[in-house]
Amino acid sequence: MPTAAIRVLSVIPPMTQLNTPYPSTAYLTGFLRSRGVPAVQEDLALALVLALLSKEGLQRVAACVKALPTSKQSTSVQSFAAQQARYLQTVEPVIAFLQGRDATLAHRIVSRQYLPEGPRFASLDVYVDDEGGDPLGWAFGALGQTDRAKHLATLYLNDLADVLRDAVDDRFEFVRYAESLAGSQPTFEPLAQALAAPPTLVDEVLQSLTLSAVQRHTPDLVVLSVPFPGTVYAALRIAQTIKKQAPQTRIVLGGGFVNTELRELKEPRLFDFVDYVTLDAGERPLLSLIEHLQGQRSAQRLVRTFVRDAASGEVRYINMMEADIAFAEVGTPTWDGLPLPQYLSLLDMLNPMHRLWSDGRWNKLTVAHGCYWKKCSFCDVSLDYISRYEGASASVLADRIDAIVQETGQTGFHFVDEAAPPKALKALATELIARQTGISWWGNIRFEKTFTPDLCQLLADSGCIAVSGGLEVASDRLLALMKKGVSVDQVACVTRAFSEAGILVHAYLMYGFPTQTVQDTVDALELVRQLFVNGCIQSGFFHRFACTVHSPVGLNPEEYGVSLQPLPPGNFAKNDVAFVDPTGVDHEALGVGLKKAIYNYMHGIGLEEDVRSWFPFRVPKTTIQRHRIARALAHGVRS
């Protein structure tokens, strides 16, 4: 007798992205279907936002606002209350505009008479000149109506997000929703208390959407993919709802957050909400779990799976050693079932490179599994998503691209590799050109010398529009310490080659690395300034270094001149670890100036000023000559 098929529903929980689906469910759904498993997917993150940002949703928000005492109403809430009727009138047309369904509304939006304007619109004041001119004229000119309107509409949505946070749920954000409840949280107690509390309006809407999805699909197994700490609380609210209404449904938790922070999971209370927790690439653990649910495999033969023992109540880790599914055999991701026309194209940042993360719906695809370099000392090089490097042939990748374009009708791709290998990119670009595929793509790379001007031009000819990569500390001493494998001069030449090929460049930057001094930081900012001035990079962002338990710094701190502080006791998440740096630098204070400087550089402001002017306190004069990058470019230094 044939075994009954297990119906699988993969869910994207709030909050990830509003402009495009997070790719984990697309990968898992495509893989499971390739193995004959009936699999569907839902994006409850997008569904939640669309339900809240509707006329009916805002009416419910308005009721929450009305119940707040005036003394507890923030400026954002007061502004909403004063303009409530206009918000109710405009919210659904604005959503339709951001979904690309009503482009003509741009003319009314840019008039500045249509949208109610809250505190977020104050950011426009920094662009007004002494004569009170057009605050966005420098960015959009006389034309650019659609982009101008998109930026204003994004400010409008951000105002509404502030109202949701201040009047409805103080954990609400469009991206980092309730992040502090889960991220590097040693104990489950904050999540347990939040999940036991009476539901907020946001919770109620999410519960309703969850029940609707379960009723539509009647799954036997629900897969909750949690890539970030800001998706954990909502995922467990979803699981809580399913357990109450459909207790026979099995629930499995996996994703990037689990893979990095729950590797030593001992907390039994998590299993009040989910039945299984799986580690690393999900294909093999899911297959083994499905076989178990079909009665074809015992629980003792699960792969990389945590369960709660029914007898003892303790958490057990089961790992029947089986080879992972080869990257070339995982199949083609599918977006079937996701409401692609309903995603919102937002324009938070006016910088043309920076906007790619929030504007447009990108088909997300991986060129290779893992990282071919896997040496950087700040990275989780000991974990599977970095350490296990596997590629696929250019023809296989191009076939996947062709299939995705055929399915979605959209030709924009974001390659989401840790660092796309240059050899594979060259082969893929050659294949795309030969097939005349005609896609646009961007992705993350290492700024290594392999990216010659000829290769950069080949990538541009194949459709590459932008790349991002890690310059990190912009200090040759610290780059060597972190085993980055590049020098500042090499980065300058590589990024210039990309820029000259018409490819936008974003630099990931870091501060607070072990033994980084104030002088190192000031000098690094000067080099970043020069990279902007010389047209090497167009965008960047400074991240504060965080030491993780799985990185070389966390595993061997003495090699980097620091000592680790004891981790707080707990049996839940474990990732970031505090450390003592003998330099004693106040990196938080420096970070304010770094972020202010990079924001202005991305808008072409302050590029000729002394970098010390960005800091509200005395810092050393930079020891880097102001024309170092120009000289490096002139000499063509590449190593």
- Asked, for residue 416, whether it belongs to a domain, the answer is yes
Instruction: Tell me the mean pLDDT in the region 70-75.
Output: 94
Contact in structure between 586 and 507 (CB atoms under 8 Å)? no
For residue 273, name the pLDDT band (cuts at 50, 70, 90).
very high
Q: CATH code at 514?
A: 3.80.30.20
Give all strands of the β-sheet with 412-415 in edge-to-edge order: 363-365, 412-415, 440-445, 464-472, 504-511, 539-544
Domain that holds residue 291: 8-46+180-323
User: Rounded to two decimals, what is the model's pTM?
Assistant: 0.94
Q: Are residues 462 and 450 in the same domain?
A: yes
Q: Are residues 484 and 412 in the same domain?
A: yes
Q: Are residues 508 and 427 in the same domain?
A: yes
Cα diameter, the chain: 82
Q: Are residues 361 and 435 in the same domain?
A: yes
The confidence score (pLDDT) of residue 636 equals 78
Q: Say which DSSP state 327 is in.
A: G
The confidence score (pLDDT) of residue 2 equals 44
Rounded Cα distance, 599 and 610, in Å: 16
Q: Are residues 356 and 234 in the same domain?
A: no
Instruction: Tell me the mean pLDDT in the region 39-56.
Output: 98
- Asked, for residue 340, whether it belongs to a domain, the answer is no
- Tens-digit pLDDT profile for residues 494-527: 999 999 999 999 999 999 999 999 999 999 999 9
- How far from chain centre, in Å, is Cα 284? 24
Instruction: Tell me the mean pLDDT in the region 439-466.
Output: 97
Question: Which of 145, 174, 203 delimits the end of a domain?
Answer: 174
Instruction: Tell me the mean pLDDT in the region 267-292.
Output: 97
Q: Are residues 25 and 56 in the same domain?
A: no
Residue 26 has pLDDT above 50, yes or no: yes
- Tens-digit pLDDT profile for residues 412-421: 999 999 899 9
Rounded to 10 deg, the angle between the 488-500 and 453-461 helix axes is 40
Q: Are residues 512 and 384 in the same domain?
A: yes
Secondary structure (3-state) at 159: helix
Residue 1 has pLDDT above 50, yes or no: no
- Asked, for residue 2, whether it belongs to a domain, the answer is no
Instruction: Tell me the mean pLDDT in the region 174-182.
Output: 88
Q: Are residues 217 and 194 in the same domain?
A: yes
For residue 175, name the pLDDT band (cuts at 50, 70, 90).
confident
For residue 354, name the pLDDT band (cuts at 50, 70, 90).
confident
- Tens-digit pLDDT profile for residues 101-144: 999 999 999 999 999 999 999 988 766 555 556 777 766 666 58
- Asked, for residue 622, whether it belongs to a domain, the answer is yes
Q: Are residues 353 and 496 in the same domain?
A: yes
**What is each CA distance from 287 to 250, 255, 284, 372, in whole angstroms?**
14, 16, 5, 27
The confidence score (pLDDT) of residue 639 equals 40
- Asked, for residue 109, whether it belongs to a domain, the answer is yes
- Tens-digit pLDDT profile for residues 421-432: 999 999 999 999
CA angle 47, 330, 368 (to 5 degrees): 95
- Mean pLDDT over each residue of the chain, to the nearest integer: 94
- Tens-digit pLDDT profile for residues 203-255: 999 999 999 999 999 999 999 999 999 999 999 999 999 999 999 999 999 99
The confidence score (pLDDT) of residue 134 equals 72
Question: Which of 174, 196, 220 delimits the end of a domain?
Answer: 174
Q: Are residues 475 and 612 in the same domain?
A: yes
For residue 408, name the pLDDT band (cuts at 50, 70, 90).
very high
The confidence score (pLDDT) of residue 143 equals 59
Q: How many domains does the chain have?
A: 3
Q: Are residues 29 and 70 in the same domain?
A: no
- Asked, for residue 332, whether it belongs to a domain, the answer is no
Q: Say which DSSP state 204 is in.
A: H
The confidence score (pLDDT) of residue 137 equals 72
- Asked, for residue 413, whether it belongs to a domain, the answer is yes
Instruction: Tell me the mean pLDDT in the region 301-310.
Output: 97
Q: Percent of the chain, pLDDT > 70?
A: 97
Question: Which of 156, 174, 192 delimits the end of a domain?
Answer: 174
Instruction: Tell me the mean pLDDT in the region 477-505.
Output: 96
Instruction: Tell me the mean pLDDT in the region 138-167.
Output: 89
Q: Are residues 532 and 399 in the same domain?
A: yes
- Asked, for residue 559, whether it belongs to a domain, the answer is no
pLDDT-wise least confident of 253-262, 410-419, 594-603, 629-638: 629-638
